[in-house]
Structure 1
Amino acid sequence: MAEEKKSRGSARERLLAAANELFYAEGVNSVSIDRVIEHAGVAKASLYNTYGSKEELVRAYLKDRHARTRERMARELQTRYRTPRERLVGVFEIQGLAFTEPDFRGCAFVTASAESEAGKAVQQATEEYRIWVRSLFLDLAYAAQAPQPEALAKRLVLLYDGAGISSWMDHDPSVADASRDVAQGLVDAAFAQ
């Protein structure tokens, strides 16, 4: 058994994997630190030596999800779409890939933000993610030379948020198709001005 735990990665990696699985499925406040430790198969001292507190583990979990989301989005946008204008709509197709995953439970950042206290590390991590989402659309709108890039980006962010919530709460992955169609309409309308 000890050899099996050892082969699964370092204590840091196992704690982060356990946090990712449990926090995403059940929420950051409802999962105790003892459950994360047990699920990771590490000693309690490992958690405190590695992260210092549950709040810092939650922040690390969110930063890790953010990094993976950002990397996937950048990779997929670059390989699937040729122009910034295509990428503005492509974001919704890439977002929709998550909607079909069996464990999809909506946006981890929305959930964590709803459970966090103002001024805490978790709130900072969720705010960093939001800055990235807004920047993603704004940068693409500018690169596409949209006539009013800020207005278009704001509308697309709203659609992005709504698509994730709708797909999760309605258990309907086809929301990805609808959001992509609406995004295409918004982009076409923005360039028709």
Structure 2
Amino acid sequence: MTTSDIGKPPAARTPAGQARERILATAFRLFYSQGLRAAGIDTIIAESGVAKATFYKYFPAKDDLILAYLDKVDGVWTGQLHAAAEAAGPTPADQLVGLFDALASACRRDGYRGCAFINAAAESPTGTRVHDRTVAHKKQISAWIRDLAVQAGAPAPDQLSRSLTLILDGGLASGVLDADPEAAIVARNTASQLVSASLGRNP
């Protein structure tokens, strides 16, 4: 979701592997900060310091690079969500609320521009590979939240998962639209109340 894990020295790789990682790291930064279409291939090539032939060897089309970027974002953001959930405690009910701590951390980072997947979906026509990748990510997150809801004993796990996903996406958007990281706190509190109501517990 963020660029916090980009730019760190890569592990030992062949020069070819390093070139691909430089391209992807540069694309990660530019795609997130400027948008998928505004960040041009020539700029990415220049800033990554690779030859044009090397770029096209790894990414024959811009969409190939965008998909690799989204795969990287998926790994980072999904990891942050799971880590936040696990840090909240062993019970699925607590984890359903705790995952929102990842939202709070994201909204406070310098250069935060919202959800990379929502941004990508807004720039990509329905039915394209890029748009399909954004949908797949959202379905994956929703399925994970639903699984936690089932484990927590929610009588209507589909509804709870859908509601929590909407709150999460709303918090991601509000954090950048309102320029107010406190939106994440509101989202967490709302999620806590919803989970408690769904499970018949006092918040």
Letter in 1 for 2:62: K
Distance 1:117 1:187 in 2: 34
Q: Secondary structure at the match of 1:101?
A: coil
The answer (yes or no) to whether the contact 2:63–2:130 under 8 Å persists in 1 is yes
Q: Secondary structure at the match of 1:147?
A: coil
Give 2:36's aligned residue: 28
Answering whether residue 112 of structure 2 is matched by residue 142 of structure 1, we say no
The answer (yes or no) to whether the contact 1:22–1:31 under 8 Å persists in 2 is yes
Query: 1:4-33 deviations in whole A, cap 9, x for unaligned?
Result: xx99x7111011101110000010011110
The answer (yes or no) to whether the contact 2:85–2:96 under 8 Å persists in 1 is no
Greater helix proportion: 1
Find runs of 4+ consecutive structure 1 residues off by over 3 angstroms: none
Give 2:98's aligned residue: 90
Give 1:3's aligned residue: none
User: Which of 52, 65, 71 pairs up with 2:60?
Assistant: 52
RMSD (Å) for aligned C-alpha atoms: 1.6
Identity of aligned residues (%): 36
The answer (yes or no) to whether the contact 1:47–1:53 under 8 Å persists in 2 is no
Query: 1:13-55 deviations in whole A, cap 9, x for unaligned?
Result: 0111011100000100111100111111111111110121111
The answer (yes or no) to whether the contact 1:95–1:176 under 8 Å persists in 2 is yes
Unaligned 5+ runs, structure 2: 1-13
Residue 75 (structure 1) shift: 2.8
Unaligned 5+ runs, structure 1: 1-5
TM-score by length of 2: 0.87
Distance 1:119 1:44 in 2: 29
Query: 1:87-119 deviations in whole A, cap 9, x for unaligned?
Result: 000111122110000111001111111111232
Letter in 2 for 1:43: A
